[in-house]
Structures are given as C-alpha cells and as structure tokens.
Structure 1
C-alpha cells in the first residue's frame, strides 16, 4: 500500500475518532490490561447492553483526535494501553459500569475522560458513577408524579365508602 494511502487512511481514522468524541455525551478512558478473555467479554457485554461502545485505540491516534475535537486537556491520560468507552445517549452509564467493574477487577483502571463535553478527572467520574442513571431518574419521577394522583384516588374512595355507610 502506498504511503499516501496509509496517511490518508490514518487521517480518516483520526477524523472518525474526533467525531466520536464530539458526538458522545461521555467518553471514559480505561486501561483493561490484565483482564482475561472472559472478563473482557463480560465487560464489553455490559457496556454494549447499555449502548456504550468500547474501542481500543492507539494513543497517537487518540491524541490527534483529541486535538481535532478541541479536547487537548485529555491528551495527558493517553499513556499505556487505552480503551475508550463512548456513549452517545447516557452520560452516566459508562462511568457506572466501568466503576463497578473496576471495583470487582483490579486489572481495570479508569484514567479519566469527558462527560457532557468537559474533561473529567477520575474523582469526577467516580462521583458520576454514584448518580442514578436515566432509567432510575425517570422511575423516581414517575413515582413522585403518581403519589398525588394515588392520594386523591384514596380520598375519593374513602369518601365514597363513608357515604355508602
């Protein structure tokens, strides 16, 4: 393959990665070195079930893509093996899954990432990991909204029963 084609292919790859950074609501960088094949498969399954894509990408490409996506502060964490969990829908899901997996497996190390377009430290990612995800928030909201309606229904039923007596 001619050198020009290789350079063009790498430039396209950098553009694709930069696009993933800008289109994602969160991108968490981790080191998964030391996981067994079964553990890696389980991690990828958990992430995939939540709509998160985990990609192992060379640090040089990540650095160039971070520059292109105007996330230069992120470049400091691209040391050693790097995998990036990209989520386009739920900003909290990758943090929750990776934090829980890292707690259970010493081989997983969260390095940092971006959440809602801002560079996030490990501590910030750990805080996000403790927050309820979108489904949990919607469930809480639904139960809060149902409580007044339920109370009115009980009151109407009690009044109806009292008038029958």
Structure 2
C-alpha cells in the first residue's frame, strides 16, 4: 500500500513531467512481456522520451489539477504514460510502430501535444510525419538544389571555352 505522502510525491512528479513534456500519450499495456516493455522504454528514451506507469487515480488527480481535460475512458485498465521531451514525432512513431506489432496487448488511448488534445487517429497520422531534423534537411536540400544549378549554369560557359581551347591546342600539336 502506498502512503499518502508517497502519493503526493508521485502526483508532484507527474505534474513536473507534464510541464517539461511536449508530448503525452496514454496507452494500455496488459500482456506485454518484460523484455518487450524494456525494449519499448529503451527506444522511447533514445528518441528523447520516457515511459512511466501511474495508478489511474493519481494520474487523473495530477492531470486535472494541471488543467488537462481528459476523458474518463483513459483512466480504465492499466495505463502507461509516454512523455516526449524533445522532438515529439519520433516518440510518436516508436509508440505507433510498437502498437502495430502488439495490437492485442498494447493500445493507444489518446494524448496531448502541448495542450492540444489528440485522439488515437490523430496520433497515427502525426506519427507518419518526418522528424524536425529530417524536415530541416529537406528544406536545406530544397534551397541548395537551385543554387547548385545556378553555379553550374554560370560555370558551364567557362568550362566549355576551356574544353574548346584544349581541343584546338591538341589539334595544333
């Protein structure tokens, strides 16, 4: 049995995590083996997140005190909370991929992206998006390609002239 003081500490810990997190996902996890949940925790951690299990009453208390409007459906059955502290999209992708491979035992109940409430379908759609790093890479490549073509177009006449002069030199020699 958890003491009242320990419950207060857990609620405070939960509230601190919600303040730091950019993403919160609520999941069920019954029937998942210890190695599977350990691999999931590791994958989430590698992508800047964390998976924690809280009692539903403490979870409800901590979230409502912080002003989150959460459906009561979320507080049924064993609930794990996935926090994303950095780029939320890779964490979403890890959780969604795990859910696809463990449909019977693992389900996404809902979540929050900042203060925006997410449904299960929202999470599935958002998890298909690229990470911010990938998007920045695509943006830089998109900006770089026209510049590279311009540089080549400006160099081409000089290269062509050098090629012609080399052919004339070879012909005379």
TM-score (ref. length: structure 1): 0.89
Could you list the structure 1 runs, at least 4 aligned residues long, displaced by more than 4 angstroms after superposition: none
Q: TM-score, normalised by structure 2?
A: 0.85
Aligned partner of 2:51 in structure 1 is 54
Structure 1 position 75, deviation (Å):
4.5
Inter-partner Cα distance in structure 1 for 2:57 and 2:157: 72
Alpha-carbon shift at residue 156 of structure 1 (Å):
2.4
Alignment correspondent of 1:69: 66
Write out per-residue CA displacement over residues 71-123 of structure 1, whole angstroms, 9 at most, x where no aligned residue: 03254412100111101111222221111111112221111111121221111
Q: Distance in 2 between matches of 1:74 and 1:55?
A: 19
CA RMSD after TM alignment: 1.7
Deviation at 1:57, TM superposition (A): 0.9
Segments of structure 1 that go 5 or more residues without pairing to the other structure are none
Distance verdict in 2 for CA 1:24–1:74, change over 3 Å: farther
Kindly report which structure 2 residues correspond to 1:6-155, keeping only aligned pairs within 5 A, or say none. Answer: 6-106=3-103, 107-155=105-153
Unaligned runs of 5+ in 2: 165-173
Given that residues 25 and 88 in structure 1 are in contact (C-alpha distance below 8 angstroms), is that contact kept between their aligned partners in structure 2? yes
Aligned residues: 161
